[in-house]
Amino acid sequence: MITVENLTREFKTYKKYEGFKGAIKSLFSNEYTIKKAVDSVNFTINQGEIVGYIGVNGAGKSTTIKMMTGILVPTSGKCQVNGIVPYEHRQENAKNIGVVFGQRTQLWWDLPLSESFGILKQIYEIPQEKFNENLAYLKELLGLDEFFTTPVRNLSLGQKMRADFAASMLHEPKVLFLDEPTIGLDIVVKEKIRKAIKDINKKNKTTIILTTHDLDDIEEVCNRIIVIDGGKKIFDGGIKDLKKNFAKYRSIKFDIRHNKYENINKLLEVEEADLIVKEEENELELKFHKDKLKIADIISKIVNIYEVRDITIEEPQMEDVVKEIYSGKIRN
Amino acid sequence: MKRFLLIYLAFFKQQLKCLMEYKIDFLMGTIALGIQQISTFLILLAVFTQINAIASYSFNEILLFYGYSQIVRGIDHIYNDNIWSVGWGKIQDGSFSLYLTRPINIVSHIIMEKIQFDGIGEFLLGLIIFIYAKLQLNLVFSLGDHLAFFIFLITGLAIYFAIKLICASIAFWTVSSGELMTVTYEINSFSKYPLDIYKNVVLKSLLIYFLPFGVVSYIPMAYFLRDNQSIGKVLGFSYTSNNFLIMLTLIITIIFTIISQFIWKLGLKKYNASGT
């Protein structure tokens, strides 16, 4: 469905000097630096997949999406959506895709939704019957009825997002690109959008690619994650693998009868960085590096010293994984 | 083509509804443009109470030039106004990206999105002045003249279109080109009057060959009012057949259309979609 091969996009930035003198200097200088926003990225996405495309701000997420939607022309490399090269056959590609930019509406400011949809119907040449069918479905799915005849400028952010989402789905695209679709939304609307994403994916086998910073979006919606950092792909796989690869720390909790405040680091012969101990009343929490310590060793040693009533082993949290990625630790 | 018209119709209906919603805005826009027009008109009138002719042009002849140039400018203003937004921020803030995700031609999409009803006043006033001057001059159009008039009108609009598109395209490199567009567009004020009244040769050839606003309104009206010799002086060379003027207009139009399309397409490749 989507193939991306060695996709690279460079941006030229002219060197700027500080201050007024600097401004004049910049005016006459021709120095520039080339920054690779996307650097030889490869992946293939099959029909029906929901792929989360994640990374820090400026990692190259939007740039990749813009190349797949035909907005940007890559510097080198190739990408194909549905067998079409988007930046070469922009219009043809546009018929097959839907795009939502969370930060920017695609609706006409002064028009009510009902009218905007009417125009989109003409632009995408949607047959009347199909239009009615899709509209009824989307209205129900996203609860558009309550603001269907209000001008877009009067809609709340949540309503606008739902409307934008519906607008991108009217022509039943085979691929849907969502660039931060839940940004700034409240929890209820977020839920609604997530449900809609899953529903549409199930109903039409729509391939969906979304970028987000919201961890719940990733966990609830995506069945595959691609992580990009500094323009390079650093991970591609399922959520479980992601956690396995990137969640270096796991945690184990002991329910204890008496506090002893032992020096557990010494006991297990590890540095403090690899084992973080938190002992509170009747509770001992150990956060440990999974490569440095074995869970069985920890338990056997602790049980020797403490009187343990219960043990809970916690799965690595998505939050920790993402923090790890975002802090740039895994780059090396 | 049918599809294009259907989309245009859909936009047009919505624009009309919006117009009703922003009645006062529309009224103010029309009145402001009207005042602007009438004041220029009054200045012309004042000048001609003192003298009989400028560079051998009578008051009514000047009016004919003025009226005709307002007709072209008015039509362009009505249908082709949104292209300004490309230079004035659409590229700067990245909202231009949206057009690239739609399955229709980008320029037509931009144009269809906004119909500038304010231009109607400009157009109507131009039309009234033109018809009045034409009657006063006893100018009678033959069938061929009508055809020539029609060709001039279309090529004139095409030239306006090309010049605006070129200026807007510059924004792909410079991020914003609104000022450039405004300055360029305002140069067309020179072409409201017959080019013979300007002494400066550079200005004359500039308005014919470089920023061909002169081709938009000077050549058409001179075609009806003047002979080959005096027009040849402005063009910088002599010719014999009157049809040559139509040919020249067509050639300049085609050249500028090609250039504008080329620069636009080159710019699209340059577009770097700022903003998230």
Q: Which residues of chain B have pLDDT under 50?
A: none
Are domains A47-244 and A248-315 of this chain identical in fold? Answer: no
Bridge partners of residue A210, in order along the sequence:
A52, A178
Cβ-based burial of A227 (10 A; exposed 0-12, middle 13-18, buried ≥19): buried
Which SS3 state, helix, strand or coil, does residue A277 take? Answer: strand
Which SS3 state, helix, strand or coil, does residue B11 take? Answer: helix
Cβ-based burial of A102 (10 A; exposed 0-12, middle 13-18, buried ≥19): buried
Residue type, A272: E
Residue A176, chain B, CB below 8 Å: the answer is: no
| Contact across the interface for B10 and A106, Cβ inside 8 Å | no
Q: Which one of B13, B100, B117 would you mutate to disrupt binding with A, by most A Cβ within 10 Å of its Cβ?
A: B100
Say what the pLDDT of residue B235 is. Answer: 87
Residue A85, chain B, CB below 8 Å: the answer is: no
Which SS3 state, helix, strand or coil, does residue A174 take? Answer: coil
Say what the pLDDT of residue A103 is. Answer: 85
ipTM of the shown complex: 0.83
Rounded Cα distance between A162 and A155, Å, is 10
**Nearest residue to A90 via CA among B103, B108, B265:** B103
Residue A118, chain B, CB below 8 Å: the answer is: yes
Say what the pLDDT of residue A207 is. Answer: 96
* Structure letter (DSSP) for residue A249: E
Residue A308, chain B, CB below 8 Å: the answer is: no
- Phi, psi at B114, each rounded to 5°: -140, 125
Helix H or strand E segment including A208: strand A207-211
Cβ-based burial of B257 (10 A; exposed 0-12, middle 13-18, buried ≥19): middle
CB pairs under 8 A between A and B: 73
| Contact across the interface for A123 and B103, Cβ inside 8 Å | yes
| Contact across the interface for B276 and A180, Cβ inside 8 Å | yes
Q: How far is A174 from chain B (nearest CA, A)?
A: 14
* Structure letter (DSSP) for residue A102: T
**Pair A68, A177: CB distance under 8 Å:** yes
> For B188-219, how does the pLDDT look when each residue is reduced to its tens digit (9 = 90+)?
888 888 998 888 888 888 999 999 999 999 99
* Structure letter (DSSP) for residue B91: T
Q: Which residues of chain A have pLDDT under 50?
A: 332
Q: Any idea which fold A248-315 has? A: Alpha-Beta Plaits (3.30.70)
- Helices and strands (H, E) in chain A, number of each type: 12, 13
Residue A27, chain B, CB below 8 Å: the answer is: no
Q: Taking the model in full, what pTM does it have? A: 0.85
| Contact across the interface for A106 and B97, Cβ inside 8 Å | no
Cβ-based burial of A145 (10 A; exposed 0-12, middle 13-18, buried ≥19): exposed
Q: How many whole angstroms from its chain centre is CA A140? A: 26
Q: Any idea which fold A47-244 has? A: Rossmann fold (3.40.50)
Cβ-based burial of B194 (10 A; exposed 0-12, middle 13-18, buried ≥19): buried
Cβ-based burial of B1 (10 A; exposed 0-12, middle 13-18, buried ≥19): exposed
Say what the pLDDT of residue A330 is. Answer: 55
Residue given tokens 């304010």 in the structure block: B118
Task: Enumerate the domain spans of chain A.
Answer: 47-244, 248-315
Say what the pLDDT of residue A332 is. Answer: 43
> Which residues of chain B have a CB within 8 Å of the CB of A122?
3, 6-7, 9-10
Q: How far is A91 from chain B (nearest CA, A)?
A: 4
> Which residues of chain A have a CB within 8 Å of the CB of B22?
110
Q: How far is A54 from chain B (nearest CA, A)?
A: 14
> For A37-74, how does the pLDDT look when each residue is reduced to its tens digit (9 = 90+)?
999 999 999 999 999 998 888 888 999 999 999 999 99
Closest residue in B to A101 (Cα–Cα)? B276
